[in-house]
Amino acid sequence: MKCPFCNNLDSKVVDSRPDKGGSAIRRRRVCEQCSKRFTTYERIEEMLPQVCKKDGRREAFDRTKIINGIVKACEKRPISKTDIEALVDRLETRLQESTDREISTTTIGEWVMKELHGMDEVAYVRFASVYRSFRDISEFMQELQELLKK
């Protein structure tokens, strides 16, 4: 494992334990060259469906892309990193349980918005504004009015 401080490839595992959700192994490592400690996570590689983009391209599901989008929507909101990780864990579980070999970004975005709606309405509106690509303020206001009705 490459050291994030000095880029040395030799490190030693000093502690190993399951993460809080049990879906990964958390490993504390120490670099053999600079002696600094760092943490890595080991996950089982699951067979997830291919993601179909709006322009027709297909690519592998990327957990970090989803997390980054949600983190941006949740900026300065009372949503912890743990809550975001749990949301993405639920999304991955849903994808793993799916029998589809391909899934659209539209479907994934709708699932994320549904989860965010239950967590924080401001984060939901932020995510929806980017995901749905509102063309003008009237579309944005229409979404807010729908939110207020509920």
DSSP for 19-82, please give it.
-TTSSEEEEEEEETTT--EEEEEEE----PPEEEPTTS-EE---HHHHHHHHHHHTTTSS--HH
Mean pLDDT of the chain, nearest integer: 88
The residue-averaged pLDDT of 120-129 equals 87
Nearest of 40, 21, 126 to residue 83 by alpha carbon:
21
Euclidean distance between CA atoms 149 and 1, whole angstroms: 52
pLDDT of 46 higher than 90: no
3-state secondary structure of 42: strand
